[in-house]
Structure 1
Amino acid sequence: MTVAHPERPTRRPAEDLHDGPRRRVGPLAALDGRLPGPHDLLLMQCPGSLRPLAGGALPPWARAVLRAHPWVTVGRAPVLLAAPTAPGPQRCARDDAPAPDQWIPVTVCGARPGQRLDALAPWAAVARTLRPEQLVARRARLAPGRLADVPALALLPEVDRLVADHRLAWGPIGAVGYELGSGVPVAGPLSPLRLVLRAPHPVSRRDALQLRRALSKLPVPVQAELETRYGAVLLAEYAAGPQALTLLTPYGPREVHDPWFPRGPLY
């Protein structure tokens, strides 16, 4: 006699509450070989593998934050290779291959003032990466009440309309970006709207001034960065047209006259 067994449900690719399949942890390339850049959000497969820049172990508040929401933000600092002065490679508990010698600068933020930790994250322990440009589409996942309570979140479609006139790729960063990426309600009614505008090619000061004026009319404070190939400058500073600009680079701020064609060494 043949016994019928109930059909087993088809197993889906590894997914989690953070929406979508995770990248296989290990030395495989992600993002078409591109390492994460400033303001990207990383979902850590092994949060305990982070190493504070100041040395020592992760503080208790950081461990608690990472256990609940293992998302970190990439900082504007160089990616490090393993060296005697840097943390040695750490093998992720869920990894099936040794970690590569690449350490990403990241920031962990807690709920209380002063809870900010700069650390290094091994690239092998990164499960997912979200760029700011990917976050706007995630607004539809928020509860309707969040849009009513947080003006910065409600205004994203208007920002998209204003920036579209200048054909710049853009995305939210800061508290608004973190909430869109992680789903953690960290933005508040008074949260400013921070934006990164991708500008690999020169933007005229006239266009920058027009965009700054349009954004300044929104009912929330807006701080926008023009991200060039060499670093970022504030949109407001560039639009104002000073002779010298502050270019934020992975090696620290530098004074330049043209953020697209800076002269002299940047590090």
Structure 2
Amino acid sequence: MVMNPHDLLKIKKTTKLLSSPEIPEWVPESLQDVPYVVVRRAPMSEGMIPIGVRGKKRNQRFGAYIAEENIVHLISPVTILQKYAWREKISNSPMPAIKALGHVHEIFKPYNLLWGPAGSVGFEMVSKCQTVTKSSDLDVVVYADEVLLIEVVENIVNKLNQLSVMVDVQIETPNGSVSLREYDREEGPILMKTIDGAKLVHNPWEPEFVKAPYW
């Protein structure tokens, strides 16, 4: 099974977490109510998959590992737009971050971008658990195997800045992830998140940074 950071996993309620720190009490309680976790950007550990658990409170986030056999279903951000009736969701939700999905769709549409919601918006759409608040940002992942033209990026950022909600866009390249807004600045090296840690790069698509998939 191919997994990438930001993918959501529905897991068995009997799943055992592997973690060095002691597992907080809220973690098993949360997973019993909402058995969904997110794939973290981290190396595999003895064949175990790095995942993150969300709690009911904003500060309740916990990283651990699980065995692949515990996965019931995988949902990527792109799949959310394809199968999770997001148009109906934005029509019925009072939350600005969810409603902003429609605007982002129209902004991205001319460029045929492969993208989807992540963060609290993506999690709520999949899990049906209310995690988005009125102050939530909209986290978005754009998948780009090839270089995005800076003219396209500038146009997108300008239109996103006109929205009433902060839209945090991460560009997933074959080498790692960079912020769309930081890439737009064109001021020296930018921070790229990789499974081996953060790196400063001038071009996130440079072949020298290409690494083999980690599963």
**TM-score (normalizing by structure 1):** 0.73
Cα distance in 1 for partners of 2:210, 2:149 equals 24
Amino acid at match of 1:74: V
Equivalent position of 1:17 in the other structure:
none
Contact 2:80-2:126 within 8 A present in 1 as well: yes
Cα distance in 2 for partners of 1:218, 1:237 equals 18
Q: Return closer, same or farther for 1:219/1:113 CA change in 2, 3 Å cut-off.
A: closer
Residue ranges of structure 2 left out of the alignment (5+ in a row)? none
Query: Aligned residues, how many?
Result: 209
Residue ranges of structure 1 left out of the alignment (5+ in a row)? 1-29, 83-101
Among 157, 161, 183, which residue is 1:212 paired with? 157
Equivalent position of 1:37 in the other structure:
4
Pairwise CA RMSD = 1.9
Q: Which has the larger radius of gyration?
A: 1
Q: For 1:65-104, what aligned pairs fall within 5 Å after superposition? A: 65-80=30-45, 82=46, 102-104=47-49
Among 74, 78, 84, which residue is 1:129 paired with? 74
Q: Return closer, same or farther for 1:219/1:265 CA change in 2, 3 Å cut-off.
A: closer
SS for the counterpart of 1:230 is coil
SS for the counterpart of 1:187 is coil
1:239 aligns with 2:206: no
Amino acid at match of 1:117: F
Q: Which protein is richer in helix relative to its size? A: 2
Q: Return closer, same or farther for 1:215/1:72 CA change in 2, 3 Å cut-off.
A: same
Deviations 1:98-145 (CA, angstroms, capped at 9, x unpaired): xxxx21111112122432110001111101000001112422564954
Quick one: percent identity of the two aligned structures? 28
Contact 1:37-1:74 within 8 A present in 2 as well: yes
Equivalent position of 2:173 in the other structure:
228
Amino acid at match of 1:38: P
Amino acid at match of 2:19: P
Moved over 3 A (4+): 140-145, 262-266
**TM-score (normalizing by structure 2):** 0.90
Among 130, 154, 157, which residue is 1:185 paired with? 130
SS for the counterpart of 1:253 is strand
